[in-house]
Amino acid sequence: MKRESGGKRIEAVMAEIRSRIAARGLVPGSRLPSVRAFARTMQVSPSTVVEAYERLAGEGLIRSRPGSGFYVSSPLAPLTLSEIGPKLDRAIDPLWVYRQSLEDAPELLKPGCGWLPASWMPEIAIRKALRAISRGEGRVLADYGTPLGLPQLRQLLSRRMGERGIAAAPDHIILTESGTQAIDLLCRFLIEPGDGVLVDDPCYFNFHALLRAHRANAIGVPMTPSGPDIEAFERAIDEHRPRLYITNSSIHNPTGATCSPVVAHRLLKVAERAGLTIIEDDIFADLEDEPAPRLAAFDGLERVVHIGSFSKTLSASVRCGFIAARPDWIEPLTDLKMATSIGGGRLSSELILLLLKDGSYRKHLDALRVRLSRAMDETAARLAPLGITPWIRPQAGMFVWCKLPDGVDAADIAQACLADNVVLAPGNAFSLSQTARGFMRFNVAQSDDRRIFRSLERALKNAARSLAC
Amino acid sequence: MKRESGGKRIEAVMAEIRSRIAARGLVPGSRLPSVRAFARTMQVSPSTVVEAYERLAGEGLIRSRPGSGFYVSSPLAPLTLSEIGPKLDRAIDPLWVYRQSLEDAPELLKPGCGWLPASWMPEIAIRKALRAISRGEGRVLADYGTPLGLPQLRQLLSRRMGERGIAAAPDHIILTESGTQAIDLLCRFLIEPGDGVLVDDPCYFNFHALLRAHRANAIGVPMTPSGPDIEAFERAIDEHRPRLYITNSSIHNPTGATCSPVVAHRLLKVAERAGLTIIEDDIFADLEDEPAPRLAAFDGLERVVHIGSFSKTLSASVRCGFIAARPDWIEPLTDLKMATSIGGGRLSSELILLLLKDGSYRKHLDALRVRLSRAMDETAARLAPLGITPWIRPQAGMFVWCKLPDGVDAADIAQACLADNVVLAPGNAFSLSQTARGFMRFNVAQSDDRRIFRSLERALKNAARSLAC
């Protein structure tokens, strides 16, 4: 390129960046190569790259972040993970909804949030476990945990997984800070920027944010009541050659779907052919009445990694997640965990262990399942008169994925209800393809307040009125 | 490249990879571009890339990890973060030493480890705080924390930083799971693969592993008793254009050095000129008798990010770290934290808050400083007859960085002592340039056992004998 004129060189650099963005070699939100590095790659001077980047920024294709470099811009995946606009626009920003739900704001009603109210958690048992630890060994109070995490808890997790047909020895289980950190660690281990990753469409919206943080190329596969659409799954594999698939095979978030054995079997066959790894995020497992067959059980942890946590079923305050993976991945994953976070807190693991051991967790789960099932029916009964109907009746869990009346946009409803301090979870927050605008996820454990339904009713009436216009 | 023959195309791909490795565009341990992506870049068929990669693997330049791709190999930074050989070789592998120190192995003596014995921590106060929480609010026991983390704890941290001259409003502080996670989050935010990052040489060895996990290009700057060698720092900036510098400006790990005001001032001037961000990892701050001036205090959190934790001074079991950063970084950092780990546990933050509020932490620190200072003198006195001499007498803290007798290799001594169940921390574990083979870091709080010194004496005698041969 050295014989070209300065202007031509700048244009060549701009063309190269444009084509990388077009080919998704550079995905929205990802950082452009550093000026120095790219000057070397293109065999031009750094000033040529600076000029090219500035022109592209002028065009709005990329954006500069002072002191940090240039990023591919996009209305969907802006500069940083979220971009916060004026307050009312936020109703449709999943990260904002999420953050709002996490704020200590007692005036808010949160049928859109993703966890149980604290009052549904086994408070008495947690208090008792805390007292037991306060009387226990000094090292538990002050020392680091072991690299893999508390051995007795890993033994217990191994046994519990065994009950679901998943053969994972205690030494093939790693404790983490949370389920999310478990998936993050696996992403670090398994993928690199630009890699394709399959997710369900719709799926837990934080998967989108997590994959954006890894600069991965998320690819959606439509969800059906019996698992991902297997034909679409195969097409996506042929087209994008993804490296990874992240899913909840049972009590899927947000739809409540459960993978049928037929679909599970086909998924695994396709994954094997394509060299695809599957992360089975099973954090809702303990809410099931009848354990559905797990991908990790069919597969024997060959290409499936199984993860879980206790945030949704025991306590989100006591942080503890886990990974069960093939034996040869345990050591590098542990090294990576130590390098990036040292690891799960000893206190949290000891607390979880106590709660699991003394039977109070099982008792809590038995009562919780009954309570959730009842709340599921009650919520559905309250939504029916509003014309909001469940997509399926989930076998278990806290979520019901609902279809709004025809023509109504869930984002509009969410925006209107936010003015009444009701935080909802509109469908497109979960949908990579933005094809779920007519859907809404309800957390049945957070929907026991008439004000929610009154607010919904008002918003729907207004929406119907403007539809009629 | 399309007109070339198949063999030429394969060679061209091989040459490109070789030159990227040589130019450190691909650093040891980093993954090669995927076959598909690189085929696109080079405008060749995927099979050409496969063949080229396989030939490079045959040469040993890269290695394949089944199901995961190809990686740049290197004896220093192998396939994964660590590579575990036969047991005795492990004495010189810092990650192995680290993991070993973390295992529950009561028979081990650990003068090489990086934390205080549990018995030095404020056990009674922690027990009391646990009991208080067991009687407290239900939401503390079961709910998620708020996105930034417990407001009252952030207020208190803000006040404590204020006492050291660091002006950080509570809203400009983010709680994390740990100090390590804080640095990891900042690396995710600030650097990308291939970026240069300055570290002290020697430095906390986990920085090496962390930067390897980020595929960053770590660059060492020699340490002096008054901070990093400022001329070498400037040269490294000119040569490598790094994006980031990670340091402990006070009670430096492993050397115990403290940055003098002159050096701090020059560092900041150079950093400003070069557009460099500095992470000031201040997890040992509370061990100081007289607070030394902090980079973050001079700089006003413009280009310095201040991080801390309580793992080294209160409890490593109760996980809690924090970041104080410039206001415009708080929101994207919080989004990134939520996407990748949700965030610090509420229980941990409440516990830390209670311990900080009731004065028991201050009392503990007062006693701890006296005890550490005494242990420092005692350890030095025990090492002196062995010819092991402190590089400096640190102003405070738990580490003393010592010079071994001339010609003795710390790795050999560590290896010999491991056979006596004594885990040491040989100098090169901390040194990027591997120039600290004659040094050893001692944790004075873990050195109160005669067996350690007997083992050292034997190992040194044997070493002297083989030197004499």
Contact B155, B175 (CB under 8 A): no
- Average pLDDT for B247-274: 95
Averaged pLDDT, B372-386: 97
CATH number at residue B316: 3.40.640.10
pLDDT level of residue A2 (50, 70, 90 thresholds)? very low
Q: Do B140 and A317 touch (CB under 8 A)?
A: yes
Check CB contact under 8 Å for B118 and A130. no
Whether B68 shows a pLDDT value over 90: the answer reads no
Instruction: Choose from B19, B95, B137, B144 for mutation: most chain A CBs within 10 A.
Output: B144
Would the pLDDT of A119 be above 50? yes
CB contact under 8 A, A213 and B25: no
Say if residue A60's pLDDT is above 80.
no
Residues 6+ apart with CB under 8 A from A407: A438, A463, A467
Looking at the predicted complex, does its ipTM rise above 0.85?
no
Closest-CA residue of chain A to B276: A67
Residue of chain B nearest A38, judged by CA positions:
B25
Across the interface, whether the CB atoms of B340 and A213 are under 8 A apart is answered yes
Q: DSSP letter at A119?
A: G
Per-residue pLDDT at A193: 81
For residue A66, what pLDDT is reported? 63
Same domain, A343 and A382: no
Nearest CB neighbour to B341, from listed A95, A141, A181:
A181
Q: Which residue of A has its CA nearest to B184?
A: A340
Q: Is A105 within a domain?
A: yes
pLDDT in tens, B331-352: 889 989 999 988 778 999 999 9
Distance CA B433, CA B455 (A): 28
Phi then psi dihedrals of residue B110, to 5 deg: -130, 55
Residue in chain A nearest B20 by alpha carbon: A41
CB contact under 8 A, A25 and B41: yes
Q: What is the mean pLDDT of residues A142-150?
A: 91
- Among partner residues B99, B144, B344, which is closest to A147 by beta-carbon distance? B99
Query: Encoding tokens for residue B456?
Result: 């050292």
Which residues does chain B have within 8 Å of residue A446's beta carbon, measured at their own beta carbons? none
* Minimal-distance CA residue of chain A relative to B80: A332
Is B439 strand, coil or helix? strand
CB-side neighbour CA atoms (13 Å) of B451: 14
Do B193 and A193 count as a contact with CB atoms less than 8 A apart?
A: yes
Tell the residue number behind the tokens 């345990």, with chain if given: A330
Is the CB of A346 less than 8 angstroms away from the CB of B316?
A: yes
**Using a CB-CB distance cutoff of 8 angstroms, which residues of chain B are in contact with residue A23?**
40
User: What is the arithmetic mean of pLDDT over A86-98?
Assistant: 56
Q: What is the CATH number of the domain that holds A427?
A: 3.90.1150.10
User: Is pLDDT of A79 > 80?
Assistant: no
Within this chain, do residues A116 and A156 fall inside the same structural domain, yes or no?
Answer: no
Q: Does the beta-carbon distance from A123 to B138 stay under 8 Å? A: yes
Q: CA A86 to CA A106: how far, in whole Å?
A: 22
Domain boundary residue, one of A338, A358, A378? A358
Segment among A50-64, A135-149, B283-297, B388-402 with least mean pLDDT: A50-64
Calculate how close chain B gets to A400, using CA atoms only, in Å: 21
Residues of A with Cβ-Cβ distance to B64 under 8 angstroms:
none
Residue B105: per-residue pLDDT = 77
Asked if residue A367 and residue A295 are part of one domain, the reply reads no
Q: Is residue A435 in some structural domain?
A: yes
Return the residue in B338, B349, B355 with the most chain A beta carbons within 10 A, the one to mutate for interface testing: B338
Over residues B159-188, mean pLDDT: 94
Whether B272 and B154 share a structural domain: yes
Residues A96, A128, single domain; the answer is: no
Q: Which band of pLDDT confidence, cut at 50, 70 and 90, is reported for residue A56? A: confident
Q: How confident is the model at residue A222 (pLDDT cuts 50, 70, 90)?
A: very high
Q: Is there a contact between B49 and B38 (Cβ–Cβ < 8 Å)? A: yes
For tokens 């090292």, what's the residue?
A139
Residues A115 and A64 in one domain: no
Distance from CA of B360 to the nearest CA of A (A): 15
In 3D, which of B139, B144, B136, B161 has the Cα closest to residue B344?
A: B144
Rounded mean pLDDT, B414-441: 93
Tell whether B206 and B336 lie within a shared domain.
yes
Work out the mean pLDDT of chain A and round it to a whole number. 89
Q: Give A-chain residues touching B348 at CB under 8 angstroms.
A: 319, 345, 347-348
**Closest residue, chain A, to B303 (C-alpha):** A67
At B111, list the tokens: 């003068």
Provide the CB-side half-sphere exposure for A211 (13 A, CA).
27
For residue A23, is pLDDT > 70? Answer: no
CATH number, domain with residue B31: 1.10.10.10
Q: Distance between CA atoms of B423 and A273, rounded to whole angstroms?
A: 46
Distance between B467 CA and the closest CA of chain A, angstroms: 35
Q: From its phi and psi, is residue B194 left (phi > 0), alpha (psi between -120 and 50) or beta?
A: left
Domain that holds residue A409: 87-120+362-468
In terms of Cβ atoms closer than 10 Å to its own Cβ (0-12, 13-18, 19+), residue B386 is middle
Q: Are B375 and B445 in contact (CB under 8 A)?
A: yes
Q: Which of B241, B243, B348 sits opposite A345 (nearest CB)?
A: B348
Are B134 and A134 within 8 A, CB to CB?
yes
Residue A112 covered by a domain: yes
Banded model confidence at residue A345, pLDDT cuts 50, 70, 90 = confident
Chain A contact probe: residue of B317, B329, B336 with most A CBs at under 10 A = B317
Do A17 and A150 reside in the same domain of the chain?
Answer: no
Tell me, yes or no, whether B268 lies in a domain. yes
How distant, in Å, are the alpha carbons of A314, A455, B6, B9, B49 from that of B45? 52, 58, 10, 9, 7
Nearest to A411 by CA among A375, A391, A441, A449: A441
| Torsion sign across C-alpha atoms B52, B57, B62, B64 | positive
**In chain B, how many domains are there?**
3
Q: Tell me which chain A residues have a C-beta less than 8 angstroms from the C-beta of B311.
A: 144, 342
If you count residue pairs, one on A and one on B, with CB atoms under 8 Å apart, how many are there? Answer: 265
- Whether A228 is covered by a domain: the verdict is yes
The answer as to whether B78 is a domain residue is no
The pLDDT, as a whole number, for residue A47 is 86
Cα dihedral A106, A207, A327, A359 sign: positive
Residues of A in contact with B127 (CB under 8 A): 134-135, 141
pLDDT score at A107: 83
Q: Which residues of B touch A209 (CB under 8 A)?
A: 335, 338-339
pLDDT value at B62 more than 90: no
Q: Looking at residue A85, what is its pLDDT?
A: 29
The CA distance from A263 to A246, in Å, is 15
Return the residue of B nearest to A314 by Cα.
B142
User: If you write DSSP's letter for every residue of B380-412 in order, what string do you get?
Assistant: HHHHGGGT-EESS--SSSSEEEEEPSTT--HHH
Cα separation, B229 vs B227, whole angstroms? 7
The model's confidence at residue A84, banded by pLDDT at 50, 70 and 90, is very low
- Per-residue model confidence as pLDDT tens digits over B86-144: 333 455 566 667 777 777 777 889 999 999 999 999 999 999 999 999 999 988 998 88
User: Nearest CA of chain A to the CA of B425: how many Å?
Assistant: 17
Query: A350: which 2 tokens?
Result: 């000891």
Q: Which of A221-225, A340-344, A348-352, B427-431 has the lowest mean pLDDT?
A: A340-344
B23 pLDDT band, cuts 50/70/90, is: low
**Same domain for B281 and B152:** yes
Residue of A nearest to B204 (CA): A339
Model confidence over B182-198: pLDDT tens digits? 999 999 999 888 889 99
Tell me, what's the pLDDT at B75?
38
Per residue in B129-138, pLDDT tens? 999 999 999 8
Least Cα separation, residue B159 to chain A (angstroms): 22
Which residues in chain A have Cβ-Cβ distances shorter than 8 Å to B23? 40
Residues of chain A contacting residue B128, judged by C-beta atoms under 8 Å apart? 134
Cα A428 to Cα A441: distance, rounded to the nearest angstrom: 10
Which of A421, A459, A465 is CA-nearest to residue A440?
A459
Classify residue A277: in a domain, yes or no: yes
Residues A180, B318: C-beta atoms closer than 8 Å: no
Residues in A closer than 8 angstroms to B192, CB to CB, are 31, 34, 69
Does residue B219 register a pLDDT over 90?
Answer: yes
Same domain? A265 vs A276: yes
Task: State chain B's mean pLDDT as an integer.
Answer: 89
Q: Are residues B383 and B313 in the same domain?
A: no
In a domain, B77, yes or no: no
B391 with B415: CB under 8 angstroms?
no
Query: Pick from A25, A79, A213: which is nearest to B339 by CB?
Result: A213
Interface contact flag, A318 B347, Cβ < 8 Å: yes
Which residues in chain B are closer than 8 Å to A344, comparing Cβ atoms?
319
Q: Do residues A204 and A259 share a domain?
A: yes
